[in-house]
């Protein structure tokens, strides 16, 4: 079953429109609209230990398992197994500021959510918990919904891909 719902389709279509024949730079905006929420979180000022973000209380399942609901379109190593979590990058890695999105159904409340699959970057692959589900993933020439791309674009750390997060952006319907 295709998980692309109206919202994701809208994102894909708007990105497709944005990536048509208009300005070369202007299209960047379409990609920036799918930036992960993690990058918008306030930076902790105090130097203190910071645990990985836990999954939310309304969720069920094991975030270290490929079967976890948020991972419906992921392809890569789960950051949950690499020192991070579904919405935290492991220490010393940098979240990708731009990425692609999928839509997954949360079995607990039956709602579809837009999931942002930000990569964590700057170190070579973690290598643990490889998970490839690809539901609704598209070819590389449709980049906003493609998981074959290294999304460590725009980071200071460089394109070395370490692991994949699955950040809830919000309900899709």
Partner 1 sequence: MKTLLALSLLALGASQAMAAPPKPAPPKLAPLKPEELTTVELKEQMPPHWVLVNDISFLHIADGRAYLIDADSGHFLGTIPGGMSHTGVAVSPDGRTAMVPGTYYSRGSRGKRTDVVTFYKISDLMPGDEVEIPAKRIQSLPLPSTIPLTDDGRFLLVYNFTPEQSVSVVDAQARKLVGEFPTPGCGLMHMTGSRGFLMQCADGSLQAAALDANGAVHLGATTKPLFTADDPASDKPVRIGPSTWLFTTFAGDVAVIDGAGGQIAVKARWKLAGADESAWRPGGLQPLAYHAPSGRLFVLMHKGGAGTHKFPGEEIWVYDVAAAKRTARITLDQPASAVAVSGDAAPLLYTTLFGSGTLAVRDPGTGAVLRKVEGLGSDLTLIQPAPVAATAGAR
Angstrom distance (rounded) from CA 76 to CA 165: 9
Kindly state whether residue 16 participates in binding partner 1, applying the rule CB under 8 A: yes
Q: Does residue 161 belong to the site contacting partner 1 (CB under 8 A)?
A: yes
Does the protein bind partner 1 through residue 96 (CB under 8 A)?
A: no
Contact 118, 151 (CB under 8 A): yes
CA pair distance 87, 22, nearest whole angstrom = 34
Q: Is 104 in the site for partner 1 (CB under 8 A)?
A: no
What is the x/- site pattern for partner 1, positions 35-54, by CB under 8 A?
--------------------
Distance CA 44, CA 53 (A): 13
User: What CA–CA distance (Å, rounded) separates 61 from 153?
Assistant: 31
Q: Does 151 qualify as catalytic in the annotation?
A: no
Binding site for partner 1 (CB under 8 A): 1-2, 4, 9, 12, 15-16, 19-25, 27-28, 31, 73, 75, 98, 122-125, 127, 132-144, 148-150, 152-154, 157-161
């Amino acid at each position: 079953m295709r998980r692309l719902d109206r919202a994701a389709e809208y994102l894909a279509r708007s990105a497709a429109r944005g990536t048509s024949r208009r300005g070369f730079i202007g299209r960047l905006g379409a990609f920036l609209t799918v930036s992960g929420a993690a990058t918008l979180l306030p930076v902790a000022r105090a130097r203190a230990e910071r645990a990985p973000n836990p999954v939310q209380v309304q969720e069920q399942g094991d975030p270290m398992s490929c079967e976890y609901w948020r991972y419906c379109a992921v392809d890569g190593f789960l950051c949950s197994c690499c020192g991070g979590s579904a919405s935290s990058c492991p220490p010393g890695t940098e979240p990708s500021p731009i990425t692609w999105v999928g839509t997954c159904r949360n079995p607990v409340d039956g709602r579809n959510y837009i999931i942002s699959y930000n990569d964590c970057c700057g170190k070579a692959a973690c290598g643990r918990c490889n998970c490839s589900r690809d539901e609704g993933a598209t070819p590389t020439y449709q980049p906003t919904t493609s998981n074959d791309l290294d999304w460590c674009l725009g980071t200071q750390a460089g394109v070395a891909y370490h692991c994949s997060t699955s950040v809830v952006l919000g309900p899709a319907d």
